[in-house]
Amino acid sequence: MEVYHGSFIEIRKPDISFSRQTLDFGKGFYITPLREQAVRWALRWQRRGKKAVVNTYVFDDSSDALGKLRVKDFPEYDSSLLRFIMENRSGQASESYDIIRGGVANDKVFNTLELFFDGLISEEEALGRLKFEKPNHQICICRQDLMDRLLVFQSSEEVSDGSQ
């Protein structure tokens, strides 16, 4: 499967040691099969005065490759995803996985999650707001040896929103 990663540099060989611990799915290298999503990720760097680069990879997501791994899927925004993100962002994740797949927070989703995490809305209200949101898709590879084996760099491309 072709996947993308938005950054400010070309990343031929991703290194998990550069990942932050308190992201949605915890420490790992985040990719998406949606090029437009990776472009949005990259353009965040451009707004900070850096280059915006979309890296393209081939990710082996075959059942042979993933069969014996601990893979967690979140096909929709639900209470288990909310709790999982909250645990990871607070650094209190109780379970570990090799690969995690699920929705990514756009601005609207992110705002709802922040209100929920801050205790300003209930889980029920958060889920009510999110049920109409179409999940984007992110994949987090949580182990360096898996990145080295399952992810093959193809190319990189500098992108721009035209403002710079």
Distance CA(59)–CA(147), nearest Å, equals 9
Distance CA(9)–CA(52), nearest Å, equals 7
Give Cβ neighbours of residue 48 (< 8 Å, ≥ 6 apart): 8
Q: Which amino acid is at 54?
A: V
How confident is the model over 59-100, as pLDDT tens digits? 999 999 999 999 999 988 888 888 888 888 888 887 889 999
CA 25-136-66 angle, to 5 degrees, is: 55
How confident is the model over 132-148, as pLDDT tens digits? 666 678 999 999 999 99
Q: Which SS3 state, helix, strand or coil, does residue 147 take?
A: helix
